[in-house]
Each structure stands twice: as C-alpha cells, then as structure tokens.
Amino acid sequence: MADTKVEQMSVDVVRDPSMMTGAIPRKDWMDMPVTFKPGNYCYPAKKSIVEYLDKGLPGLFGVPREWQVESDDWQLPENWVEIILQGMRERLDKFRSFKVFMDICVRCGACADKCHFFLGTGDPKNMPVLRAELLRSIYRGNFTKAGRILGSIAGGRPMTFEVLKEWFMYFYQCTECRRCSVFCPYGIDTAEITMMARELLHLVGVGTNWILEPAANSNRTGNHLGLQPHTFKQNAEFLLDDIEEVTGVKLQNLTFNRKGAEVLFVIPSADVFADPGIFTFMGYLLIFEHVGLDYTISTYSSEGGNFGSFTNNELMKKLNGKMYAEAKRLGVKWILGGECGHMWRVVHQYMETMNGPPDNLEVPKSPITGTVFENAAAAKMVHISEFTADLIKHDKLKIDKSRNDHRVVTFHDSCNPSRGMGMLEEPRYILQNVCNKFYEMPENTIREQTFCCGSGTGLNTGEIMDLRMRGGLPRANAVKHVEEKHGVNMLSCICAIDRATLLALMEYWNPNVGVCGISELVGNALIMEGEKVRDQDLRFEELAGAGQGEEPGTNEEGE
C-alpha cells in the first residue's frame, strides 16, 4: 500500500503548497531540477530483459546494463545527446502529429487542470502544457532558428542530463489518457508527445522494468505474466470448477488453440489470473456457453494488453502481430476481444495499419443474432461489449437482473475505449440490462471527460504508490461522490489495468467500494440452462434475498 496514510494524504493534497493549492514556484520551471528519491520513480529495466528485447528489435532499447535512477551516472552511451537529437529528427519526419504539436501550442492553459496527475500533485510540470514544453524546449533549442540563436528567450534549451532526468520523471507521470486532448483547441494530444519521449528515452537505454519485463514476457510466452501454455490453460480451467460450484453447470465449450473454431477470443491475460479479473473471465465464458458460441482461446496469443505500446511503435507492432498470425494459423473467421483498455486503443487505432490487412478473416458476423459488425469490417475484430450489447438487444440472453441487487454499480469509462475508440454507450446498455442499481458519476468525470485510474501505461507498479494514489484521486473522488449519494459499492469498468489499479485505489480512498468488469455482472445475471438455485455470485458472495430472484428473461435463448 501507499507509503503515506490516507488520513495524511487527504490533508496533504489540499494543504501542501502546490500549484493546485495556490502556491506558485518562484523559479522558472527550466531552473527547477528534479530529484529522484524512493517512491517517485519506477525501477529501471533489468539488464537481462533489455538484452532479450534487443535481440528482437536491435538498437531500440539502448545498451543493456544495470543502472541506478538515483545515481548521477546512468551509464549512458557517450553520444547519448546525439542519439536523442537524431531520434527526434527521425520522428519529426515520421509523425505529423509530433511536428505539428511541437509548433502550434499557444500556451492558453486550457489543458492545465485537466490532467489527473496535476490535480493530484499540483506539480507544475504535470500540467500537460508544461509536460509538452519539456520536449518542446529541446525541439526549439535544436531544430528552430530562433531557439538556436536566442536560447531561453525563445523558449529553447540544450539537451542535458538534467533534461533527461526531467523526461524520465514526467513522461512516466503521464498515462497517455488523452483527457487534455479533448479540451485543447488544436487537439494537441499529450499521449502522442509522451509516446515520442518514451521512444527517445528507450533509445538511450532508459526504460522501466515494470513495462519491459511484461513486454518481454508477452513476446516469449504470449502474455505479460509469463504464464507458460500449460499454466495458462490450467488457470483458466480451474475457473470452470468455480463456475460449476456457483451455478451447478459444467461448461463444455472452452477450448485452447483449437483449429477451425469460428472465433478467436483474445483477453488481457490478467483475466485468467488475478482477482477480480478472473470473475470477468468467468462472465465471458458464461456468455459464450449461454449462446453456444464456437470460440477458442490461444495460449500463444494470450495477451490482449500491449506493453509494447508503452515503449515504442516497433515493439507495439511486434507484440500485436500475434493476434492476426494466430487467427490465420487457427483458421478462425474473426476475432473477439475482451475487456481491456489499451489493448483496444491498439486494436482500434493501430492494429489494422500495423499488421493488416487480415485477408484470411471475414467481416465479423454474430452467429447468434446475424448482426454484421460493419464497424469492424476492415480490422475484423469486435469488442466483447459490442458483442454482448448486440445479444441483449436481440433478446438472446436470459437475464435475472435481481442477481446483481447486492451491487450498487457505477461505471468508470476507461481512457482508451472512451477517447481512443468512442465506446461509451455499449457498456452502459449492458449495465442497464443486467443490474437494477446503476448510477452515473458526475458528468465532468465520465464519458469523454473520464479520469484515468492514475496508473495506466505501465505505471501500475508498487514502488510509486503515493504518486498513483494522487494521480487516481480525481477518479476516486468521483466514486466517493456516488458512494455517499447513492450507496454505490461496485465500480465497474472494461479494462484489465483498471481492474488491478482501481482495486488499490478504492482500498485506499474508498474502502467500501469493490471493482469488477461488466462481464462479471452479466455472468451473475445469466440464467444458464440446467443451473441450480443460485444463492451466490461468481465471487461466492451471498446474493440479495439469497436465491429468490426468479424473474426469467423475456424470451427463449438463442442456443
């Protein structure tokens, strides 16, 4: 848990001098050095991990070595400044977003208080505009005439070790959530800037272990946890026993690596391993069994989440490539994806461009409802919420809403599905159909204005707990609001990172609120053929009015 007690933190965020509480630093931001101390930085990547990644993508992760963040010698290559500047030059030529966003900011400040890290820390360099200036100042100082001649008067500065430290600090206090981008009059997206900065940092061998080790695992074992095929399968099958115990039904349709299945189902791997993701996973399986979907799960492509996307576009592409490759090998018709935020950012906005076209796949069509998912006509991959919402719309699910009556639910829009995909209504439609008590958080904190969990993009690591609890404060605060107003006790979401991070966040700020994926709630409510009297939910917790909820669905199931 966090190093600072919540009572203390509650006072600190309001009283400590910070830009959020009205204290303005006397020194110019360029003159404020960063100081690393335990708790404010992520641990650097292990040498062996970087060595492994370097074999697959030579040169992109710097020289493998052991180094200490708090030390003044990061053992950078001698020509590291050159590497950074050359890397910048290349990326300015490769990404219009980068070039335009370096040039057109007018520093109007509209983004300043939109960032959850700024709201929680009050650190001026967490204002998106200043975060971008950390990079922009180097751009001006090296790539524009005015900056080269006039230096700091024109907002330019040379690339120094102090700047590099600043980048490592603040581009790992951005979760690429894009909230600032919604409010920017020019759509400047700090996520793009952070991505560029992290690519540059990796070039000189500055990366964090919490990102690179899962990425290495994903490459080798298929999933970020490093679960080998047998373990992955056994974990998943173990959950079948739990399902049987709760529902009295032994599911038959779960298979792995099966050729000829109609659908390949890709999940964030934490869903077979970690609480509360496992309950979401049970929900998926119940839905598929209920409608008789012909699906298989791959152990080779057993990670939807893409830790490469937190490093550089090359590793993102490499890891993502498994999905289409495996779909082709197994000969499935289309791909279905589980509840995962950044997985869906990558699938929706990058996959088809990077690894498509998937010529061997067909335009996804629900075998149960006949619905053709035109919105996935090229990428051939459908989101589980789209799939489930369509099932409900066509009355293909027998649902007993009252089985979720012990939950008072609110919904956290995950950053990526909301601002990188535009998926706002489908999860809500599902929730309204599977539970009776669903309340929205205040409007400035949901939908396209949703707040990050505070720990996305690979910041979900134990060594920066205080930071994460601060970054997650805006989200937690909105949950607290509905907890007090409506008695909300369950925070639902469609993201695996959320399911891990919100759990810690709720334990800290709102200990009476649990966290779940929405497929878990669907699983609770589903009336399975041949089931026993259900008096427990998928977590083995007592239902409200234990087992009395007989309220059959409105029509026959679509088997």
Partner 1 sequence: MKHAFLAVIALIAISWIGSLVGLDYVFGVVFPYLAFAIFLGGFIYRIVNWGKSPVPFRIPTTSGQGKSLDWVRQDKLDCPATFWQVVGRMLLEVFVFRSLFKNTKAEIHDGPKLVYGSSKWLWLFGLAFHYSFLLIILRHLRLFLNPVPAFIGQIEFFDGLFQVGVPVLYQTDLVFVGAVTFLFLRRVLIPQVKYISFAADYFPLFLIFAIGATGILMRYFFRVDVVAIKQLTMGIATFSPAISGDIGSIFYIHIFLVSALLAYFPFSKLMHLGGVFMSPTRNLANNNRMVRHVNPWNDPNIKPHSYADYEDEFREFMVDTVLPVEKELPPEPEPEPEPEPEAAETEKPAEPAAEEAPAETPAEKE
Nearest-CA neighbor of 281 among 352, 338, 203, 366?
A: 338
- Nearest CB to partner 1, comparing residues 119 and 293: 119
- Nearest CB to partner 1, comparing residues 146 and 546: 146
**Site of tokens 């990547």:** 45
3-state secondary structure of 297: strand
**CA-CA-CA-CA torsion sign (271, 273, 276, 279):** positive
Q: 219-231 burial, b if ≥16 CB within 10 A, otherwise e?
A: bebbbbbbbebeb
Element spanning 523, H or E:
helix 518-525
Q: What is the DSSP string of 21-81?
A: GT---SS-GGG------TTSSPPBPPHHHHHHHHHHSTTSS-------TTSS-----TTHH
Q: Which of 34, 240, 274, 544 binds partner 1 (CB under 8 A)?
A: 274
Q: State which of positions 314-343 bind partner 1 (CB under 8 A).
A: 314, 317-322, 325-326, 329
- Nearest CB to partner 1, comparing residues 51 and 535: 51
CA dihedral 214, 218, 221, 223 (to 10 degrees): 90
> According to the binding rule CB under 8 A, does residue 16 interact with partner 1?
no
Q: State which of positions 461-490 bind partner 1 (CB under 8 A).
A: 462, 473-474, 477-478
All residues at 6 or more sequence positions from 55 whose CB lies less than 8 Å from its CB, including other chains: none
Site string for partner 1, 298-317 (x = CB under 8 A): -xx------------xx--x
Give the span between the Cα atoms of 109 and 49, in whole angstroms. 40
- Nearest CB to partner 1, comparing residues 181 and 492: 181
Helices (H), 78-189: 80-94, 96-103, 116-121, 128-143, 145-150, 161-170, 179-183
Q: State which of positions 50-109 bind partner 1 (CB under 8 A).
A: 51-53, 55-57, 92-101, 103-109
Q: State which of positions 400-439 bind partner 1 (CB under 8 A).
A: 418-426, 429
**CA-CA-CA-CA torsion sign (386, 387, 393, 394):** positive
Nearest-CA neighbor of 28 among 120, 130, 102?
A: 130
Q: How far is the CB of 443 from partner 1 (least distance, A)?
A: 9
Amino acid at the residue 17: P
Q: How far is the CB of 165 from partner 1 (least distance, A)?
A: 20
Q: State which of positions 233-252 bind partner 1 (CB under 8 A).
A: 233-234
> According to the binding rule CB under 8 A, does residue 499 interact with partner 1?
yes
Site string for partner 1, 350-379 (x = CB under 8 A): x-xxx-xx-------------x-xxxxxxx
- Asked if 355 contacts 306 with a C-beta cutoff of 8 angstroms, the reply is no
Q: 80-91 burial, b if ≥16 CB within 10 A, otherwise e?
A: bbebbbebbeeb
Q: How far is the CB of 267 from partner 1 (least distance, A)?
A: 12
Q: Which of 8, 75, 160, 444 binds partner 1 (CB under 8 A)?
A: 444
Q: How far is the CB of 549 from partner 1 (least distance, A)?
A: 28
> According to the binding rule CB under 8 A, does residue 49 interact with partner 1?
yes
Chain Cα centroid distance, residue 68: 27
Q: Which of 217, 410, 414, 524 binds partner 1 (CB under 8 A)?
A: 217
- Nearest CB to partner 1, comparing residues 144 and 436: 144
Give the span between the Cα atoms of 327 and 495, in whole angstroms. 23
> According to the binding rule CB under 8 A, does residue 257 interact with partner 1?
yes
How many residues bind partner 1, per CB under 8 A? 154
Neighbours of 21 (CB within 10 A): 12
- Asked if 510 contacts 477 with a C-beta cutoff of 8 angstroms, the reply is no
Q: State which of positions 104-133 bind partner 1 (CB under 8 A).
A: 104-110, 112-114, 119, 124, 127, 129-130, 133
Q: State which of positions 158-197 bind partner 1 (CB under 8 A).
A: 178, 181-189, 192
Q: How far is the CB of 225 from partner 1 (least distance, A)?
A: 5
Site string for partner 1, 507-546 (x = CB under 8 A): ----------------------------------------
Q: State which of positions 376-405 bind partner 1 (CB under 8 A).
A: 376-379, 381, 386, 389-390, 393
Contact window for partner 1 (CB under 8 A) among 143-151, 164-172, 198-206, 517-525: 143-151
Q: How far is the CB of 142 from partner 1 (least distance, A)?
A: 16
> According to the binding rule CB under 8 A, does residue 256 interact with partner 1?
yes
- Nearest CB to partner 1, comparing residues 37 and 153: 153
Q: Which of 5, 8, 10, 31 binds partner 1 (CB under 8 A)?
A: 10
Contact window for partner 1 (CB under 8 A) among 68-76, 150-158, 486-494, 518-526: 150-158
Give the span between the Cα atoms of 541 and 410, in whole angstroms. 19
Q: How far is the CB of 349 from partner 1 (least distance, A)?
A: 5
